[in-house]
Amino acid sequence: MPSNISAPHATTAAERENAPESTRQAHARQVRSMFDSIAGRYDLLNHLFSGNTDTRWRRKVARTLDDVLVNPRAAVLDVACGTGDLALALDRQGTRHNHTGARIIGVDFCHPMLKIARAKSHKISFIEGDALRLPFADNYFDAATIGFGLRNLASVSDGLFELRRILKPGGRLVILEFSKPVIPGFSQAFNFYFKHILPRIGDTLNGSCGAYTYLSDSVRKFPDQIELARLMRASGFDQVSFRNLTGGIAALHIGSRQ
């Protein structure tokens, strides 16, 4: 990453909710510049550091929405789609056994990430747009997903309200995000790795830009499983539930638009 670009300072969801608009915009600009700069290495480092577990997690999101994804009349939005792997997993799930599958759209505000996504599929529409001002009408989508994106938004609550807005009543939201490991012993070891080892290796491989330090800090400051479920209910989702993935390293939250 060029030296004039620095990763954003990770803040808690509550700190961001109370921040002035100018601070939120600065946060969004820094997040976008950071992903601009790491786009070329994003997929490789993701798969390397997770031992491809990230791919399994995305498949689980897709399986959760199987009934929607096989419906050719359904539209499904993947927000903060990045290089497109979750959108691709959704498409694969929907088109298994020669089904036509739902229409999948990915949206992200980082052009270099979208460029990589577009090279992976000509069938999925990858659109440039802000998760906090989605370029879609109210009540449009049958389901929406956001994978490792919510944590990066300038406001988690505003992001959830915006996701609710574009969903049809009864439409489902699935969130895949890093969370809080729940297995004693494993949790301590993982936290040590994530706080002290991953940032060093990741930032070195990425040209010392601080992206992995930001990743580690932002995960620590992100709401845990229970709190995220509470925020979803407060943002107008019901039937909210979650399941831990790989001992709670990540979690998959599901809710329906009221």
Ligand X SMILES: C[S@@+](CC[C@H](N)C(=O)[O-])C[C@H]1O[C@@H](n2cnc3c(N)ncnc32)[C@H](O)[C@@H]1O
Query: Contact positions toward ligand X, by CB under 6 A?
Result: 28, 31-32, 35, 80-82, 85-86, 108-110, 113, 130-132, 147-149, 152-153
Q: What minimum distance in Å lies between the beta carbon of 87 and ligand X?
A: 8
Q: What minimum distance in Å lies between the beta carbon of 253 and ligand X?
A: 15
In the 8-state DSSP scheme, what is residue 246? G
Give whichever of 141 and 148 is closer to ligand X, judged by the CB atom.
Answer: 148
d(CA 101, CA 75): 9
Give whichever of 12 and 183 is closer to ligand X, judged by the CB atom.
Answer: 12
Q: What minimum distance in Å lies between the beta carbon of 129 and ligand X?
A: 7
Q: What minimum distance in Å lies between the beta carbon of 184 and ligand X?
A: 28
Q: Please identify the residue of the shown chain whose CB is closest to the bound ligand X.
A: 82
Please say whether the dihedral angle defined by the alpha carbons of residues 77, 81, 84 and 90, taken in this order, is positive or negative.
Answer: negative
Q: What minimum distance in Å lies between the beta carbon of 249 and ligand X?
A: 14
Give whichever of 46 and 95 is closer to ligand X, judged by the CB atom.
Answer: 46
Give whichever of 68 and 88 is closer to ligand X, judged by the CB atom.
Answer: 88
d(CA 14, CA 195): 21
d(CA 178, CA 13): 14
Give whichever of 27 and 103 is closer to ligand X, judged by the CB atom.
Answer: 27
**Amino acid letter, 257:** R
61, 176 Cβ separation under 8 angstroms: yes
d(CA 128, CA 126): 7
| Run of H or E residues at 32 | helix 21-50
Q: What is the DSSP string of 106-175?
A: EEES-HHHHHHHHHH-SSSEEEE-BTTB-SS-TT-EEEEEEES-GGGSS-HHHHHHHHHHHEEEEEEEEE
Q: What minimum distance in Å lies between the beta carbon of 110 and ligand X?
A: 3
**Amino acid letter, 102:** A
Give whichever of 6 and 186 is closer to ligand X, judged by the CB atom.
Answer: 6
Q: What minimum distance in Å lies between the beta carbon of 150 and ligand X?
A: 9
Q: Give helix 225-234 / helix 156-166 axis angle, nearest 10°.
A: 50
Give whichever of 69 and 153 is closer to ligand X, judged by the CB atom.
Answer: 153
